[in-house]
Amino acid sequence: MTAETATGIVLDAKKIFYNRFLLIVAGLGGLLYGVDVGIIAGALPYLEATSGLNAGQLSFVVAAVLLGSVISTLFAGLLADWMGRKSLMSLSGVMFVVSIPMIALAHGYGPLVFGRLLQGVSGGLIGVVVPLYLAESLVAANRGKGTGIFQWLLTLGIAAAAVVGFYFSFRVDQVAKLGDAARLFAFKDTAWRGIFWVSLPPGLLFVIGSFMVAESPRWLLRRGKRDAAYAALLRSRTNEQADLELHEMEEASAAEKRKTATGAAATESLFRRKYVIPFVLACIILACNQATGINSIIAYNTNILLQSGLSDFPAHLGYVLFTLVNFFVTFGGVVLVDRKGRKFLLGVGTAGIIASLICTGTLFRKTESLRLDAKSAVQSLVTADQRLTLVYNGELVAKLSGGKWDSNQPTSLVVIYSCGDFRAASRAVRSDDPAAKPIEISRDGCVPANSVNAFFSNPFGNLDTSRSALLTIENALISPVPSPANGWLVAITLFVFMAFYAVGPGVCVWLALSELMPTRIRSNGMSIALVLNQAVSTMIAAIFLPTVGRYGYSTMFFGFAACTVIYFVTATWFLPETKGKTLEEIEAQFEGKQA
């Protein structure tokens, strides 16, 4: 059995199967990365209810993945060069598999944190090494599809985590109706452990798959293993393709060796055009990708929909639909990326993101212009032990607003507070929700539990001074609750945002990262760019709630739109098209040579 590729070259059945197998392994890597991102959201409410951990400990359990990811991303490039792409993929998969039972069987703070750190380290390694491996191993015609499938299955991981969390929330609600507190507690404990166990099978499959693929041919050639590199190429290419690509790789390698022999390599500046331009482009794209607000919009999606006018169940349903839009539209991006090209999809995607964010911000602006700040009234309710408990209902609305709104007017309340150099925001509560828990504010909820959390919250904050600082209410913002119709309009604009993100930046960002970097700096350059990506994500996460509390969601959405304009300009005018080109051809293009 044979088949003809997009370039007219005929592949036999064995090579077709192997190319598809590479795509499956890529997808499993993306799935694990998505699970890393999304799994804690569904498990956290039940972990909080049953673990006995305080707010500081819980926040560190959540942040441990980020910490582990940042650490491993820094060294992922060096490790990939030292031990090989395939070996590092296998190691990252094993670490993920080990982390699941460590978390799911934990009965204390230490094992939980260590397991989450291990998950983060695994995720950081996967985020670098899988796109790197795909860029170096797939034929040029399939490179976009392979990296697109990585992103597609990443979105499946996030969507699956949302669906699993939604399923357990439904089950918990059913058990709660029985009125048996002990049974409810036991089921919540089982629920968060079950959510983690569900993510184990894809981890096992990824480990098995990583052992069965060939090592990156470009890494093998750089190690002097020409025959092994040629054999790796032959697993997915015809003899003619393998001969041509090996020749290109050897020419590039010979050029590097000549520079080394003459001392030029040691003295060649990394500030040359062929290194600086692709590195800067990749860093801008990675930073702007986070500046679209994608991670915060995913993380706070339910809260956003609650504030837009939807009640609890429709808001959670809206989040599930949001993740499903991400999953299904990403598949469209996978189909189009090797047909239309990266530049076209990034241009269309960023333009749609700008329009949808402006629409979302405008919808919020209408109601947020009517907000009332009752910080003085709320500050007077803070007790001597620096605590505050508010049962937000119609009676309290009338008291805090000074009679501006009566008890029948549905409103929401968000409190922004600080202790020293650290700020926090309460969850938003609505006056028309009789089942809402009281707002509980204390110094512990604001001041990080340790120096690691403190660094990610405010790198310049004084933790010791803040631990004894007075609890200060900076804002207590009362807003009228919009109608459910307004809530669904906001949901639709967010669905549109997600669709344009999925078809453009969502698919192309990993490609830009792996394709643009020249061979000499590819692995370490990818690590640096991803660290920048995570730094922007961390900064946005740190300022999101305080900014929303003080200035409203509209300000945040308009800010995201402004950042995406930079993304659009970069993608439209400065990014070269890399569709159908080998990595050596892309590198030659940046050097100013005719490919």
Q: Each residue of 357-379: pLDDT tens digit?
A: 999 999 998 888 778 888 888 89
Task: Return the structure tokens found at 107.
Answer: 């009965």
108, 118, 369 from 111: Cα distances, Å: 6, 10, 47
Task: Return the structure tokens found at 254.
Answer: 């010979």
Q: What is the b/e burial string over 479-495, where b = at least 16 CB atoms within 10 angstroms of the residue's CB? A: bbbbeeebbbbbbbbbb
Task: Return the structure tokens found at 416.
Answer: 């922004």
Q: What is the mean pLDDT of residues 460-482?
A: 85
Q: Residue 282's pLDDT is what?
A: 80
**Candidate from 202-216, 372-386, 478-492, 521-535 with smallest mean pLDDT:** 521-535
Sequence-ordered list of residues with C-beta below 8 angstroms from that of 457, at least 6 positions apart, any chain = 422, 448, 542
Q: Where are the domains of the chain?
A: 1-225, 372-486
499 CA to centre of own chain: 16
Task: Give the number of other Cβ atoms within 10 Å of residue 594's Cβ.
Answer: 6
Contact 460, 422 (CB under 8 A): no
CA distance 351 to 354: 5
Contact 514, 133 (CB under 8 A): no
pTM attached to this predicted model: 0.72
Of the chain, the percentage scoring pLDDT greater than 70 comes to 87
For 414, which DSSP code? E
**389-414 pLDDT, tens digit each:** 888 887 788 888 777 776 677 888 87
Backbone phi and psi for residue 423, each to the nearest 5 degrees, phi listed first: -125, 155
Task: Return the structure tokens found at 426.
Answer: 């309460």
Q: Residue 28's pLDDT is what?
A: 85
Whether 279 shows a pLDDT value over 60: the answer reads: yes
Beta strand segments in 266-377, E = 372-373
Task: Return the structure tokens found at 194.
Answer: 């079950």
Whether 12 shows a pLDDT value over 80: the answer reads: no
123 or 260, higher pLDDT = 123
Contact 162, 107 (CB under 8 A): no
What's the residue count for the chain?
595
By the 10 Å C-beta count (0-12 exposed, 13-18 middle, 19+ buried), 258 is classed as exposed
Q: What is the mean pLDDT of residues 84-106?
A: 91
CA distance 503 to 419: 42
CA distance 103 to 477: 38
Q: What is the mean pLDDT of residues 556-561?
A: 94
CA distance 85 to 217: 10
Whether 505 shows a pLDDT value over 80: the answer reads: yes
Q: Residue 94's pLDDT is what?
A: 94
By the 10 Å C-beta count (0-12 exposed, 13-18 middle, 19+ buried), 474 is classed as middle
129 or 394, higher pLDDT = 129
Of 555, 550, 545, 409, nearest in space to 482 by CA: 409
Of 149, 103, 143, nearest in space to 122 by CA: 103
Q: Residue 173's pLDDT is what?
A: 76
CATH of domain 1-225: 1.20.1250.20
Of 200, 170, 195, 256, nearest in space to 41 by CA: 195
Instruction: Give bridge partners of residue 12 from the DSSP assignment.
Output: 2
Q: Residue 300's pLDDT is what?
A: 77
Backbone phi and psi for residue 479, each to the nearest 5 degrees, phi listed first: -125, 140
**Intra-chain end-to-end CA distance of the chain, in Å:** 34
H/E run at residue 85: helix 85-104
CA distance 421 to 443: 12
Using DSSP's 3-state secondary structure scheme, residue 485 falls into helix
501 or 443, higher pLDDT = 501
Could you give the residue ranges of the DSSP H alpha helices within 441-504? 451-457, 463-466, 484-501
Contact 229, 246 (CB under 8 A): yes
Sequence-ordered list of residues with C-beta below 8 angstroms from that of 265, at least 6 positions apart, any chain = 256, 259
132, 217, 255, 516 from 250: Cα distances, Å: 19, 11, 8, 20
Mean pLDDT of the chain: 80
Half-sphere exposure of 133 (CA within 13 A, CB side): 30
